[in-house]
Amino acid sequence: MAIDYGSKRVGIAVTDPLQIIATGLTTVHSKDLIDFLKKYIEKEEVECIVVGEPKRLNNEPSDAARFIEPFVVHLRRTFPNIKIERMDERFTSKMAFQTMIDSGLKKMARQNKELVDEISATIILQSYMIKLK
């Protein structure tokens, strides 16, 4: 599972049991995320949660990192038996937007920020899976 964490919305992606391809799952409000994850993990097996790590071009943490780090600490405490990994998320929003263009979505559909977050989470997860191989 991958999470593209934002202060308002969180994009979530999952992979198939064989870990071949990442797929967007949903977007939830940040305040509802932990409850969503608890319910999801009760029903589905999750061995690892990959959280996007926002960085600047010089590899320093971006301003958004100050919101994400406390969330990652909370995530580790809430799910101590699940591996929590971090993955560089630089350019994922731009890549998600380009993916929307390439797939032929009209301009109005491309303005759907929830879809951008979900696609970004998918890119984070797919990148993580490629890194493992």
SS (H, E, C) 39-87: HHHHHCCCCEEEEEECECCCCCECCCHHHHHHHHHHHHHHCCCCEEEEE
Q: Where are the domains of the chain?
A: 2-132
pLDDT digits (tens, 9 = 90+) for 9-65: 999 999 998 899 999 999 999 999 999 999 999 999 999 999 999 888 787 877 778
Q: State which H helix or E strand residue 110 sits in.
A: helix 107-110
Instruction: Dump pLDDT digits (tens) for 53-96.
Output: 988 878 787 777 888 999 999 999 999 999 999 998 877 777 78
Q: What is the mean pLDDT of residues 102-121?
A: 82
Q: What CATH topology corresponds to 2-132?
A: Nucleotidyltransferase; domain 5 (3.30.420)
